[in-house]
Homo-oligomer: A and B are copies of this chain.
């Protein structure tokens, strides 16, 4: 996993700055084990007595997304979630408690994708795959 400091370094070389909010967002997302919403980010910062304006947070997220370091996703509802844009994976979400885990498929979807591309005459760029169910706690 690429270190946050390396990323900040890289960002700087790309003409942006090492700002307080930038570092905070990256650190928070880098250590998160699941995708996080803007609201949750704000709460996490609040707990650590780190404050910045919501405008700043939204703009920071937008920037990091444009630069390709973080990724936006939606799991079943209209709340955007963010995670580091690292190795390709999917998600498994408990519909009861909301817990989210990362999933890596044993066999990817490459073959299926190829078939679809051919059949539909599409150039497939990416896909999203999410599983929903009940975790052990919630199902017992």
Contact = CB atoms under 8 A, between A and B. Distances in A.
A115 interface: yes
Contacts of A80: 78
Interface residue tally on A, bucketed by range? 35 or more
A1 interface: no
Interface in A87-140: 92, 94-95, 101, 103, 105-107, 109, 112-113, 115-117, 120-136, 139
A66 interface: no
A77 interface: yes
Contacts of A130: 127-129
A76 interface: yes
A107 B117 CA distance: 15
